[in-house]
Amino acid sequence: MNIEEFIKNFSELFEETDPKNITLSARFRDIDEWSSLLGLAVIAMVDRSYHIKLTGLELKNAQTVEDIFKIIQLRKSDSQAAAW
Protein backbone atom coordinates (compact mmCIF):
# COMPACT_ATOMS: atom_id res chain seq x y z
CA MET A 1 0.00 0.00 0.00
CA ASN A 2 1.33 3.39 -0.87
CA ILE A 3 0.20 6.87 0.15
CA GLU A 4 -0.92 7.96 -3.32
CA GLU A 5 -3.11 4.88 -3.74
CA PHE A 6 -4.69 5.41 -0.32
CA ILE A 7 -5.43 9.10 -0.95
CA LYS A 8 -6.97 8.21 -4.33
CA ASN A 9 -9.19 5.54 -2.74
CA PHE A 10 -10.15 7.89 0.08
CA SER A 11 -10.92 10.83 -2.22
CA GLU A 12 -13.08 8.67 -4.52
CA LEU A 13 -15.59 8.36 -1.67
CA PHE A 14 -16.37 12.06 -1.96
CA GLU A 15 -18.66 13.09 -4.81
CA GLU A 16 -18.56 16.88 -4.44
CA THR A 17 -15.11 17.52 -2.99
CA ASP A 18 -12.20 18.25 -5.32
CA PRO A 19 -9.67 15.41 -4.90
CA LYS A 20 -6.89 18.03 -4.71
CA ASN A 21 -8.36 19.08 -1.34
CA ILE A 22 -7.83 15.63 0.12
CA THR A 23 -4.26 15.35 1.32
CA LEU A 24 -2.61 13.44 4.14
CA SER A 25 -2.88 16.47 6.41
CA ALA A 26 -6.55 17.11 5.56
CA ARG A 27 -8.84 17.03 8.57
CA PHE A 28 -11.52 14.93 6.93
CA ARG A 29 -14.29 15.95 9.35
CA ASP A 30 -13.76 19.57 8.28
CA ILE A 31 -14.70 18.72 4.69
CA ASP A 32 -18.22 20.07 4.08
CA GLU A 33 -19.31 16.81 2.50
CA TRP A 34 -18.26 14.68 5.52
CA SER A 35 -21.08 12.73 7.17
CA SER A 36 -21.59 9.61 9.22
CA LEU A 37 -22.47 7.79 5.99
CA LEU A 38 -19.10 8.75 4.53
CA GLY A 39 -17.53 7.44 7.72
CA LEU A 40 -19.15 4.08 7.06
CA ALA A 41 -17.95 4.27 3.45
CA VAL A 42 -14.38 4.81 4.70
CA ILE A 43 -14.66 1.76 6.96
CA ALA A 44 -16.00 -0.32 4.04
CA MET A 45 -13.28 0.95 1.66
CA VAL A 46 -10.53 0.07 4.15
CA ASP A 47 -12.00 -3.42 4.61
CA ARG A 48 -12.45 -4.00 0.87
CA SER A 49 -9.19 -2.48 -0.35
CA TYR A 50 -6.79 -3.31 2.49
CA HIS A 51 -8.47 -6.23 4.31
CA ILE A 52 -8.31 -4.30 7.59
CA LYS A 53 -11.25 -3.99 9.98
CA LEU A 54 -11.17 -0.30 10.88
CA THR A 55 -13.35 0.24 13.93
CA GLY A 56 -15.71 3.12 14.52
CA LEU A 57 -13.63 4.11 17.54
CA GLU A 58 -10.45 4.21 15.45
CA LEU A 59 -12.20 6.42 12.91
CA LYS A 60 -13.59 8.62 15.67
CA ASN A 61 -10.13 9.09 17.18
CA ALA A 62 -8.49 9.84 13.81
CA GLN A 63 -8.19 13.51 12.91
CA THR A 64 -6.51 13.48 9.51
CA VAL A 65 -6.36 11.28 6.45
CA GLU A 66 -2.81 10.41 7.51
CA ASP A 67 -4.09 9.11 10.85
CA ILE A 68 -6.23 6.56 9.03
CA PHE A 69 -3.35 5.66 6.72
CA LYS A 70 -1.11 5.03 9.75
CA ILE A 71 -3.73 2.81 11.40
CA ILE A 72 -3.88 0.68 8.27
CA GLN A 73 -0.09 0.48 8.04
CA LEU A 74 0.19 -0.51 11.70
CA ARG A 75 -2.54 -3.13 11.45
CA LYS A 76 -1.02 -4.58 8.27
CA SER A 77 2.42 -4.85 9.87
CA ASP A 78 0.87 -6.43 12.99
CA SER A 79 -0.97 -9.03 10.91
CA GLN A 80 2.18 -9.83 8.94
CA ALA A 81 4.18 -10.23 12.14
CA ALA A 82 1.50 -12.52 13.57
CA ALA A 83 1.72 -14.71 10.47
CA TRP A 84 5.33 -15.50 11.27
- Per domain, the residue ranges of the chain are 3-83
Predicted confidence band of residue 5 (pLDDT cuts 50, 70, 90)? very high
Predicted confidence band of residue 76 (pLDDT cuts 50, 70, 90)? confident
CA 42 to chain CA mean position, Å? 6
Q: What is the pTM of this model?
A: 0.89
The third-level CATH classification (topology) of the domain covering 3-83 is 1.10.1200
Instruction: Tell me the residue type at 65.
Output: V
State mean pLDDT over 6-14.
97
Distance CA 83, CA 12 (A): 31
* Number of other CB atoms surrounding residue 11 within 10 Å: 17
pLDDT, tens digit (0-9, with 9 covering 90-100), for 15-64: 999 999 999 999 999 999 999 999 999 999 999 999 999 999 999 999 99
